[in-house]
Amino acid sequence: MIIVMNKQASQTEIEGVVARITEVGLKAHLSEGSFRTIIGVIGEKKLIAELPVEAMAGVEKAISVTESYKLVSREFKPEDTIIDVDGILIGGRQLVVMAGPCAVESREQLLESAFIVKNAGAQFLRGGAYKPRTSPYAFQGLEEKGLELLAEAREQTGLKIVTEVVDVQTVSVVSSYADVLQIGARNMQNFQLLKAVGKTDKPVLLKRGMAATLKEWLNAAEYIMSEGNYNVIFCERGIRTFENYTRNTLDLSAVAALKQVSHLPVIVDPSHGTGVWKLVRPMARAAVAADADGLMVEVHPNPAKALSDGPQSLTPENFSAMMQEIDTVARAIGRSL
Amino acid sequence: MIIVMNKQASQTEIEGVVARITEVGLKAHLSEGSFRTIIGVIGEKKLIAELPVEAMAGVEKAISVTESYKLVSREFKPEDTIIDVDGILIGGRQLVVMAGPCAVESREQLLESAFIVKNAGAQFLRGGAYKPRTSPYAFQGLEEKGLELLAEAREQTGLKIVTEVVDVQTVSVVSSYADVLQIGARNMQNFQLLKAVGKTDKPVLLKRGMAATLKEWLNAAEYIMSEGNYNVIFCERGIRTFENYTRNTLDLSAVAALKQVSHLPVIVDPSHGTGVWKLVRPMARAAVAADADGLMVEVHPNPAKALSDGPQSLTPENFSAMMQEIDTVARAIGRSL
Amino acid sequence: MIIVMNKQASQTEIEGVVARITEVGLKAHLSEGSFRTIIGVIGEKKLIAELPVEAMAGVEKAISVTESYKLVSREFKPEDTIIDVDGILIGGRQLVVMAGPCAVESREQLLESAFIVKNAGAQFLRGGAYKPRTSPYAFQGLEEKGLELLAEAREQTGLKIVTEVVDVQTVSVVSSYADVLQIGARNMQNFQLLKAVGKTDKPVLLKRGMAATLKEWLNAAEYIMSEGNYNVIFCERGIRTFENYTRNTLDLSAVAALKQVSHLPVIVDPSHGTGVWKLVRPMARAAVAADADGLMVEVHPNPAKALSDGPQSLTPENFSAMMQEIDTVARAIGRSL
Amino acid sequence: MIIVMNKQASQTEIEGVVARITEVGLKAHLSEGSFRTIIGVIGEKKLIAELPVEAMAGVEKAISVTESYKLVSREFKPEDTIIDVDGILIGGRQLVVMAGPCAVESREQLLESAFIVKNAGAQFLRGGAYKPRTSPYAFQGLEEKGLELLAEAREQTGLKIVTEVVDVQTVSVVSSYADVLQIGARNMQNFQLLKAVGKTDKPVLLKRGMAATLKEWLNAAEYIMSEGNYNVIFCERGIRTFENYTRNTLDLSAVAALKQVSHLPVIVDPSHGTGVWKLVRPMARAAVAADADGLMVEVHPNPAKALSDGPQSLTPENFSAMMQEIDTVARAIGRSL
């Protein structure tokens, strides 16, 4: 249930409602907007139904929510969520670009990549230190050594760091290095991991599962938010279909749908979304036109030599060209790079 | 096989090559570019292999094509195909917009729709006179009466007409009214119908089948072209996936891929592609940013009262807003409405 | 709407109800069971709603049907439909096996195949004379010459003939040779073709479209039945999914579901359904265990030399082994070969 | 690489080969068959290529394996793997049935379910103590309390216990109660969890991911085996497709394919695989006919009151009927219940 407070509701009234909610064993989540406060009530249906909400002081109305997700919904929070990562805003008028190699391979490769993407205008460096790989015999990442290299790249370039966390055990170490924690597609329904990152104070970039419906994705974000971490960013990265010309089918309608259903920012990964570098630039432009809040793109100094995902990585030249193109498209729809 | 002629090859030499091809029982298709002529050779593999191409006067080289489609490929014709429909160009710098109701329902509804889309800047009126419907008991269209109404709307507004042809028997009557023949998704592999429209002199808009791969779609176009009709327009309209928030999953990466693999124009139908009118505007913008050559959109004076596809039809106001938005995006990438 | 007549309803009462239905412009379809008659009423919803059914003599009750298919449903006809093809029953206790090459290639190949499948116990010879092929340059079948060869094989072996009809124009010629008309997957929603075979007196084997839902498939059968041809056989042949180990994903749950929802017979094609000959035998057994009424299987005297679909064709030895295996499984569930 | 030893190779020769493999930094996995020993070599490609295998005493030949999975393949181990769970064999001639409620809800519900499935002939009790649920607000299981109840049910009935483990942290506690550890579909590519169960001595039942290809599934099993746990059981539970009549599309061809490609046992879950209890019995029969080594089925004393998955659970009566049916089918193909 979502409780909408009066515009004039006092702090005491708000606290009173919260107290009533918690004393019967339910949880209250506050969303304080510019005009009014909205309270999400979570817990057993029967208890919620018995709550005498209309009678509480300061309450304007109660909306019963049939969907299983609440905190992620625009009903709960009508205004766009803008996440502040040390001064870089995600979800605002300005787009955010996260770029870099698929995996951290070496100090040279990472630093070279970092300067390339920094110079082209990206705000975030991406790069996997822990790599979930289909085969147990494939390169699994440099692990903590990779995190150290990412931190060094941040120091040298000023870029923020987004990197994947693959299990509960390493949430703490990854959090100590990263600015944004990434949950990969294969872990979108690893609920223990979602809860664990929900307890950190780092923003979480939540990739869509390969066969996840919009509803399941929204619920995965709800897992994170229900633990108290409200800074979740959706990342569309393609779904699995019968089409095999592309590695995945990039579902840009999901971007537009999420922006309508939820208040959270949405970014797009056209590199994994297509698996074909020649399609990355047009899909990056399309994502921006569909109102995505940013992009995550694979860039490698030398794609032909990449240890993973070479065929979908942009060269520095192509990345630069992409940045110019999306800037123009962004301006056309009233945003900017 | 594709034969590339010398830049200096004379008309006599070209005719000589064609003669050699045809006299052994193969077919020759000419593509005369600004700089050179390219000849597609079609027929039995064994015969093609025995052709002494290199020895023929005026030949620069022969490219053996392993894909089953040839005439649709950029290898065969490097320049973009621009289709001239009585002065309206499809595939050029300027975008083309085809709009109107799903089905022709009545004279009033059609004329009202026609003036709405005309005034907002569309060049084509769309509307089904023959409707392929899942159930035999659903409204099947006004048939020839519908075609007459479309012709009347053309006369009153100057809009060109695009309308679906659903079987070989009605190709001739539909051709006598329409400016562009539409092949629907369910008929993308109705090969007899493809051959039949391939024998007409009307451009053909070929919608993608609901589960068609890019290759199958290219081959469907090849069926039309192999009969002599080179004016084929691809129309992406969404593919069937597990996601059920949208009616289909609009595959914009197919647009970018087609523009690379083929020389034919590509337009996008965000109405069927999403099935949700709220997603049509962002997807229309995204399609343009992905370099689509135009859009096909459902517009209805009163979507709530439409006999079919109401939930995905735009109101006149929304259509107008869409036109302004795509104009801005088009200009951002060097094109225009 | 479905009208259930009293068990004691007289012929006059039944005719009276039918007369009332038709005089207001609706259509009546009779299903005369052993115990009672059921009348399907088809036409405009508004007219149906106004029909004073309860007041008509002999009527027990009226069931309003919200699904768009009626004649195919078990509600309309509770007993299994058993189709009699000149003494061979499809849908009864005994299974029916349709086997032979993908395409009719030559007299020798066809006759050899025919004797092989006859000797192993099949009742039907399958073989395409008209072949719908993805590429316009692939072998398109021997056409009427192929039909003549099929007829000759029937004469020599006593096998019944099932062969595909691909367009309205050839329905009449194919009907003059075939015992059962096959509608291929690509034509499952070629509604004009469905109507055309619905007007013949030949049983129709209706393959499932590659991305057709159960509902769409049921509606396709309804198209045929609504024209008066009640002898429709469903044929599951796999759907298109992300899995690429198999050519398609054979959906045996559709067999079980159809047997519950509809009274029509259902057979399974494990050759197209998997595309891998090594999987044909286990899937044939599984189909029989799932209560399929028969199988359609590709057999070729020499699969390595087949002009099409070699990799999924059984050798004569494997086909023989398959026949023995399905006989044992059939007996285990109270049926037989 | 897979090294096939001579039939006469001595123990000393085998140890010699293993020593050479490990001293260059590679790993050796032994498979000792009745006739000969096969050694899987795992590690860096370059090191493997440099290994002078042919020169080693006792070696018959070396097979280079291009697939990323090795230990799971029939090339590595030609004989079927039969897993012994305290006297119950999985993968042998006799089928194994795992049945019970989706979730452990209470002592009464669990014990009642246990006696029902025991009396009908099942060997394993299934039931979730830790439940991965799409929504954070749905019932998440009784956790360790649930494990205790499962242990009590085992004591009272003699049934073995199979139950899901959802994260690395609880692998140890679940292992201390369960006879077989289940990895759920959502965790099929939770590689840390796969490695963790690979280090236990409990057999692992590995469900297929909702959009997992056969190759990815085989690789997931390889993750477990590469840690030393060779007792892996595949469980097909349906894949996600466009069809929405069923909850998933049960892919029985995967069963047949796995039995050919791998030596590991394969069981089928027709409850999740269809999501419709009316389809469970025919699909159970079909699975057995396709040569599955067993079934996992949801049974609930009162499906209408189940806290989760009621619509797909069998009543005790239906479960009993299913057991009789699959026994007959099993005998028809030379196996038994």
Does the residue A202 lie in any domain? yes
Residue in D137, D168, D211 closest to A210 by CB = D211
Decide if C191 and B226 are in contact by the 8 Å CB cutoff.
no
Instruction: Tell me the C-alpha distance between D247 and D276, whole Å.
Output: 8
Q: What is the pLDDT of residue D66?
A: 66
The answer to whether residue A290 scores a pLDDT higher than 70 is yes
Q: What is the pLDDT of residue C262?
A: 97
Q: pLDDT for C287-314, tens place per residue?
A: 999 999 999 999 998 888 877 777 889 9
Tokens representing residue A307 in the block: 């240890």
The answer to whether residue A114 scores a pLDDT higher than 90 is yes
Tokens representing residue A164 in the block: 């994947």
Residues B57, B88 within the same domain: no
Residues B57, B177 within the same domain: no
Displacement of CA C266 from its chain's centroid (Å) = 6
Residue in B214, B249, B289 closest to A288 by CB = B289
The answer to whether residue A246 scores a pLDDT higher than 70 is yes
Residues A157, A189 within the same domain: yes
| Residue C269 contacts residue C295 (beta carbons within 8 Å) | yes
Does the residue D116 lie in any domain? yes
Residues A90, A15 within the same domain: no
Look at chain C and report how many structural domains it folds into. 2
Does the residue D8 lie in any domain? yes
Interface A-B, measured as beta-carbon pairs within 8 A, has a size of: 132
Q: Search chain A and give the residue with CA nearest B214.
A: A245
Residues with pLDDT less than 70, chain D: 66
Does the residue B121 lie in any domain? yes
Which residues of chain A neighbour C242 with C-beta distances below 8 Å? 211, 240-242
Tokens representing residue A268 in the block: 């797009």
Q: pLDDT for D281-294, tens place per residue?
A: 999 999 999 999 99
Residue whose pair of structure tokens reads 């679940």 in the numeric block: D174
| Residue C100 contacts residue C137 (beta carbons within 8 Å) | no
Residues C39, C143 within the same domain: no
Per DSSP, helices labelled H in chain C are 11-23, 45-50, 107-120, 144-157, 171-177, 191-198, 214-225, 252-261, 270-274, 277-289, 316-332
D239 touches chain C (CB under 8 A): yes
> Among C75, C61, C68, C76, which residue's Cα sits nearest to residue C43?
C68
C partners (3+ CB pairs within 8 A) are A, B, D
Q: What is the pLDDT of residue B38?
A: 85
Measured in degrees and rounded to the nearest 5, phi and psi for residue A197 equal: -70, -20
- CB within 8 Å of C260: residues ≥ 6 apart: C74, D278
Decide if A189 and D134 are in contact by the 8 Å CB cutoff.
yes
| Residue A29 contacts residue A42 (beta carbons within 8 Å) | yes
Residues D114, D146 within the same domain: yes
| CATH number (domain holding residue A22) | 3.30.70.1140
The SS3 call for residue D146 is helix
Neighbours of C93 (CB within 10 A): 12
The answer to whether residue B227 scores a pLDDT higher than 90 is yes
Does the residue D75 lie in any domain? no
Q: What is the pLDDT of residue B139?
A: 84
Instruction: Tell me the C-alpha distance between D63 and A307, whole Å.
Output: 25
Residues C185, C246 within the same domain: yes
Share above pLDDT 90 across residues of chain C, in percent, rounded to a whole number: 76
Decide if D240 and B242 are in contact by the 8 Å CB cutoff.
yes
Sequence letter at residue D213: T
Does the residue C78 lie in any domain? no
Residues A34, A182 within the same domain: no
The answer to whether residue A258 scores a pLDDT higher than 70 is yes
A186 touches chain D (CB under 8 A): yes
The SS3 call for residue B136 is coil
Q: Search chain D and give the residue with CA nearest B243.
A: D242
The model's confidence at residue B66, banded by pLDDT at 50, 70 and 90, is low
More confident call, C301 vs B322: B322
- CB within 8 Å of A295: residues ≥ 6 apart: A95, A96, A97, A98, A99, A267, A268, A269, A270, A284, A287, A288, A326
Domain that holds residue C276: 83-332
Residue in A69, A134, A190 closest to D190 by CB = A190
A151 touches chain D (CB under 8 A): no
Which residues of chain B neighbour A325 with C-beta distances below 8 Å? 333
D partners (3+ CB pairs within 8 A) are A, B, C
* Residue D29, min C-alpha distance to chain A (Å): 14
Q: What is the pLDDT of residue C66?
A: 66
Q: What is the pLDDT of residue C170?
A: 95
Which residues of chain C neighbour A242 with C-beta distances below 8 Å? 211, 240-242
Residue in D250, D274, D288 closest to C289 by CB = D288
A240 touches chain C (CB under 8 A): yes
* Residue C285, min C-alpha distance to chain D (Å): 5
Q: What is the pLDDT of residue A110?
A: 97
Distant-in-sequence contacts of A85-89, Cβ < 8 A, 24+ apart: A85/A160, A85/A179, A85/A180, A85/A203, A86/A160, A86/A179, A88/A123, A88/A124, A88/A160
DSSP B255: H
Displacement of CA B80 from its chain's centroid (Å) = 14
Give the dihedral of Cα atoms A103, A104, A105, A108; nearest 10 deg. 140
Tokens representing residue C209 in the block: 């479209």
The answer to whether residue B252 scores a pLDDT higher than 70 is yes
Instruction: Tell me the C-alpha distance between C302 and C101, whole Å.
Output: 10
**What's the mean pLDDT in A33-37?**
78
Residues C37, C108 within the same domain: no
Instruction: Tell me the C-alpha distance between D120 and D149, whole Å.
Output: 21
Burial annotation A283-318 (CB, 10 A radius, 16+ → b, else e): bbbbbbbbbbbbbbbbbbbebeebbbbbebbbbbeb
Instruction: Tell me the C-alpha distance between D187 and A189, whole Å.
Output: 8
| SS3 labels along chain A | CEEEECCCCCHHHHHHHHHHHHHCCCEEEEEECCCCEEEEEECCHHHHHHCCHHHCCCEEEEECCCCCCCCCECCCCCCCCCEEECCEEECCCECEEEEECCECCCHHHHHHHHHHHHHHCCCEEECECCCCCCCCCCCCCCCHHHHHHHHHHHHHHCCEEEEECCCHHHHHHHHHHCCEEEECHHHCCCHHHHHHHHCCCCCEEEECCCCCCHHHHHHHHHHHHCCCCCCEEEEECCECCCCCCCCCECCHHHHHHHHHHECCCEEECHHHHHCCHHHHHHHHHHHHHCCCCEEEEEECCCHHHCCCCHHHCECHHHHHHHHHHHHHHHHHCCCEC
**What's the mean pLDDT in B73-98?**
96
Residues C168, C265 within the same domain: yes
Decide if A241 and C242 are in contact by the 8 Å CB cutoff.
yes
**What's the mean pLDDT in B242-260?**
96
| SS3 labels along A86-122 | CCEEECCCECEEEEECCECCCHHHHHHHHHHHHHHCC
**What's the mean pLDDT in B165-185?**
97
Residues with pLDDT less than 50, chain C: none
Instruction: Tell me the C-alpha distance between D187 and D197, whole Å.
Output: 12
* Residue D204, min C-alpha distance to chain C (Å): 24
Residues 244-263 of B with CB under 8 A from D: 244
B166 touches chain C (CB under 8 A): yes
Decide if C68 and B168 are in contact by the 8 Å CB cutoff.
no
The model's confidence at residue B280, banded by pLDDT at 50, 70 and 90, is very high
Residues B311, B263 within the same domain: yes
* Residue A144, min C-alpha distance to chain B (Å): 36
Instruction: Tell me the C-alpha distance between C63 and C61, whole Å.
Output: 7
Instruction: Tell me the C-alpha distance between D249 and D251, whole Å.
Output: 6
The answer to whether residue A80 scores a pLDDT higher than 90 is yes
Which residues of chain D neighbour B240 with C-beta distances below 8 Å? 242
Interface A-D, measured as beta-carbon pairs within 8 A, has a size of: 79
ipTM, two decimals: 0.90
**What's the mean pLDDT in B163-185?**
97
Share above pLDDT 70 across residues of chain B, in percent, rounded to a whole number: 100
Interface test with A, best of B252, B322, B324, B335 (most A CBs within 10 A): B252
Residues B54, B92 within the same domain: no
Tokens representing residue C40 in the block: 């399907």
Q: What is the pLDDT of residue D33?
A: 75
| CATH number (domain holding residue B156) | 3.20.20.70
Give the dihedral of Cα atoms C259, C261, C267, C271; nearest 10 deg. -110
B190 touches chain C (CB under 8 A): yes
Does the residue A69 lie in any domain? no
Residues 260-299 of D with CB under 8 A from C: 260, 273-274, 276, 278-279, 282-283, 285-291
| Residue D202 contacts residue D224 (beta carbons within 8 Å) | no
Does the residue C161 lie in any domain? yes
A66 touches chain C (CB under 8 A): no
Instruction: Tell me the C-alpha distance between C236 and C220, whole Å.
Output: 13
Which residues of chain D neighbour C331 with C-beta distances below 8 Å? 332
